[in-house]
Amino acid sequence: MSRTRRTDDLRVPAGLLIPAALGVAILVLPMVGLIVRAPWGDLPSILTSDEVLTALRLSLVTATVSTGVALVCGVPVAWLLARTTLPGRSVLRGLVTVPLVLPPVVGGVALLMVFGRRGLVGGWLYDTFGISLPFTTEAVVLAQVFVAMPFLIVAVEGALRTADRRYDDVAATLGATSWTTFRRVTLPAVMPGVLAGAVLCWARALGEFGATVTFAGSFPGTTRTLPLEAYVAINAGDSDVAIVLSLLMIAVSVTILVGLRDRWIGAA
C-alpha cells in the first residue's frame, strides 16, 4: 500500500485522526486477518474444487439475475416514490426500504410465510400450479431481490429527486407521452444513479446469506451460494475453505468496485 503525504496532513486534528484511524482499522483489519490466515499453498486446489466452483457459478448467476429483477421492478418503484404524489407515499417508502435494516434471517422467515408451501401466496401457487418455491434457485433469487432491491430503489430515487423535472415538462410540451419521457429523457438523465444502485444491489445480492439460508435452504448447485458455502465450511470445522471463500468474495467485489469507480471518475 502506497501512501502520499501532503504537508496539510499535519493540520488534521487528533480528535479526527485517531477515531478515523480506528474506524479504518475496524474496516480493514478483518481483511488483513483473512489474508494473513489464508492457506496460500492450498489456495489453487480449494478454489478449483467442485464445491467452490459450483457455489461461485450459482452466486454469480443468481446475483446477476436478482439485479436484473431489481432493475425491472425497482426503478419503477423509485419513480413512483420520486415523481408522483401518491397518498401514503412516505409509508410506501418506509415499507420498501425496511429490508435495509431488517435482519436478513427475519426476511427469510417472512418470505417463507408468504411464498412457502403453506404461505399466503406460496400455498395458492402450490395448490393451483404445483409450484413450490423454497429450496429452488428461484427462491435464492427472490431472497436476494428482497434484501438487495432496496439499495437500488434508494439510489435511483435519490437520482430522480435531484434530476431536473423541467426536462420532463419540456418533453411533454413536445408531445411526448409520460412513457416516452421516462424512457428517452428521465432514464438517461438518472443513468449514473441507476448504475450505482445496480452495483450496490449486485454486491448485496452476492453477499446475501440470512434470507437465502432461511427461505431457500442450502443445497450444492441449487441454493448453496458462496456465503452459504462459507458458513457450511466454518460449521463443519473447515476454516481454510471458509477463509478462501471470504477472500474470493472480497476479490470479486473489490475488482468490480474499483473497475466501476475508475469508469465513473473517467466519465465525470
Contacts (CB under 8 A) with other proteins, residues 195-254? 195-197, 199-200, 203-204, 206-207, 209-210, 216-220, 222-224, 227, 230-232, 234-239, 242, 246, 249-250, 253-254
**CB 10, min distance to other proteins, A:** 25
Task: By CB under 8 A, tell whether 189 contacts other proteins.
Answer: yes
Q: CB nearer to other proteins: give 91 or 162.
A: 162
Restricting to residues 104-143, name those near other proteins by CB under 8 A: 104-105, 112, 116-118, 132, 134-135
Residue type, position 236, single letter: A
Q: CB nearer to other proteins: give 39 or 91.
A: 39
**CB 265, min distance to other proteins, A:** 6
Alpha-carbon gap, residue 11 to 17, rounded angstroms: 10
Task: By CB under 8 A, tell whether 48 contacts other proteins.
Answer: no
- The three cell numbers locating residue 41: 499453498
CB neighbourhood size of 182 (10 A) = 17
Alpha-carbon gap, residue 231 to 212, rounded angstroms: 12
Grid-cell match 445496480, residue found? 198
Restricting to residues 4-33, name those near other proteins by CB under 8 A: 27, 30-31
Q: Quick one: how far is CA 6 from the chain centroid?
A: 36
Supply the DSSP string of 121-184, one letter for each residue: HHHHHHHHH----TTSHHHHHHHHHHHHHHHHHHHHHHHHHHS-THHHHHHHHTT--HHHHIII
Size of the site for other proteins (CB under 8 A): 81
Restricting to residues 149-188, name those near other proteins by CB under 8 A: 151, 155, 158-159, 162, 164, 166-167, 169-177, 180, 184-185, 188
Restricting to residues 60-79, name those near other proteins by CB under 8 A: none
Restricting to residues 74-103, name those near other proteins by CB under 8 A: 103
**CB 241, min distance to other proteins, A:** 11
**CB 234, min distance to other proteins, A:** 6
**CB 18, min distance to other proteins, A:** 20
Q: CB nearer to other proteins: give 91 or 165.
A: 165
Question: Comparing C-alpha atoms, which of 58, 102, 107 is closest to residue 214?
Answer: 107
Long-range contacts of 110-113 (CB under 8 A, 24+ apart): 111/139, 111/142, 111/143, 111/146, 111/211, 111/214, 111/215, 112/214, 112/215
